[in-house]
Amino acid sequence: MKNLLNELPKKNLENQFGRSVSIFILVMILAFSLFLATFITMSLRNGMQSMEARMGADVIVMPRDSENEYEGALISGTPSNFYMEKEYMEQIAQVDSVEKYSPQVYVTSADASCCTAPIQIIGIDSATDFSVKPWLTQEVSGDLADDEVFAGKSILGEVGETIQVYDKNYTIKGKLSDTGLGFDESVFLNLEEAREIAEKAKEFGLVAEEANSDEYISNIMVDTVDSVKVSQAVADINRELAGTSVRAQSTSDMISMFSNQMSQTTKYILIIVILLWILSLVILFIVFSIMVRSRSDEWQAMKIIGASKKQLLNIVQKESTILSVSGAFAGVILAVVVALLFKQNIESAVELPILTPNLVVTLLIAG
């Protein structure tokens, strides 16, 4: 009798296959939605914290009409190119509230052995750079040589290996840690090499005519004097640049904008999850109630052969546990696969940086 009662829950689920599958799917959807929503929300928060911690510069100076392009390159790694005259660095150097600055050049690559899609090439002055090097997984000495690059986390290849861009081989001098930003899909070269690549990119119509000129850059990363508020430094720089086609923007303002956007996004995600939870719980309650009531003849037969009320309740609990645990496990696995495979699509959809939690945190969420 005892062995029969132990085997009965499994046999019941097999005999009522359609009902079992329906409940399994409902539980899976519930677990999938909850885990995915929590995973995405935490990834968004990690991305924002990562951006805030390692933005590097206090202020960014860029062309007035290029902010959307820069945000796309920064957040999702969307290849972008925009340019302004290099002479603006001389004006910025005259501002007392500026401590240091470093130029960058953005170039779109249509051909790279490391990737299946166009990547963002960013030229940096490695002698003055202070916004990219903090992301490196290990310290490097010396400036970037003409045949060396820093590679983002998503770029295939490790330190010491080579990648090919426009038929030229480059040695990876350093790898960036996972940023959750567009840096993950970017390759960094020195300014001279970036301009050479820009010359080749012009043949594909990927960059503007001035891209390879020594007189043009894409933006200027600025670090301000500690004793001066960043907002004051921005005002000082914009006063110096008044009447020009470029302007300064504090990275904190940019982060604040993304934070507000993230709050709205997570609010919508939370509402959807709550609705799914309510709907799923109501459906599960109805299904389990119908399942128990529809089996009254079965319960009567079990009582006749000596099963107690407690044993019958134990059978129902075991069936529910099997379906709930297996459905939840399947839902979590599916959510992890979807989150990792479609990370870039999710990032593009929400237009915010995403930095996925590590394995330990992921397992805690699943628990």
Is the pLDDT score of 347 beyond 70? Answer: no
Domain that holds residue 160: 57-250
100: pLDDT confidence band, cut at 50, 70 and 90? very high
Domain match, 46 and 65 both: no
pLDDT in tens, 261-295: 767 777 887 788 788 778 877 877 887 777 777 66
Element (H, E) at 165: strand 162-165
> 230 with 126, same domain?
yes
pTM beyond 0.75: no
Q: Are residues 93 and 235 in the same domain?
A: yes
184 and 139 inside one domain: yes
Same domain, 98 and 159: yes
Strand partners, 61: 220, 248
One domain for residues 97 and 215:
yes
β-strand 59-63 against 168-175: which pairing, if any? Answer: unpaired
Same domain, 145 and 199: yes
Same-domain check for residues 31 and 94:
no
Co-location of 32 and 88 in the same domain: no
- The whole-angstrom separation of Cα 347 and Cα 70 is 15
What pLDDT is stored for residue 359 in this prediction? 61
Q: Which residues touch 13 (CB under 8 Å, ≥6 apart)?
A: 20, 319, 322, 323
Q: Does residue 299 sit in the same domain as residue 161? A: no
* 113-148: pLDDT as tens digits: 565 567 888 999 988 999 888 888 888 888 899 999
Are 113 and 195 contained in the same domain? yes
What mean pLDDT do residues 314-331 have?
83
